[in-house]
Amino acid sequence: MQVSTEQRGTLHRLRLEGDLDIYAAADLKTALVDALSTPHELEIDLAQISAIDTSGIQLLAAAKREALDTGKTMRMVNHSAAVVELIELYDLAGWFGDPLWLPQASQNGGTA
């Protein structure tokens, strides 16, 4: 799992790449805690998530809960097909509250 960060004004963006699974959870948890400790709005780009398991969904849900509890804005964008599949399997789209947008390449069968 690779995590890159970008700061634009009041927006703090995390771009995640690779497998969001139990093996990556500890590293991602640290990045999420750090991002949620800032006064900035948090956006998590999930376009490059190739696989996700229950621990990955639990970690995203915990981050969303922390954001809600502390009055911060957190949204997930550019959901990969793997992320959409698991969110739909667990029927969590409404709870997360973020529109499920697939990256353009995924919508067109891999072509832009």
The structural architecture, per CATH, of the domain 2-107 is 2-Layer Sandwich (3.30)
Percent of the residues in the chain that have a pLDDT greater than 90, as a whole number: 75
Q: How many CB atoms lie within 10 A of CB 42?
A: 21
Mean residue pLDDT of the chain comes to 88
pTM, 2 dp:
0.84
Q: In whole angstroms, what is the distance from residue 21 CA to residue 77 CA?
A: 18
Give the per-residue pLDDT at 47. 96
Q: In whole angstroms, what is the distance from residue 7 CA to residue 26 CA?
A: 23
The answer for residues whose C-beta is within 8 angstroms of residue 48's C-beta and 6 or more apart is 15, 16, 17, 18, 80
Q: Indicate whether 110 pLDDT > 90.
A: no
Sorted by where each begins, the domain ranges of the chain are: 2-107
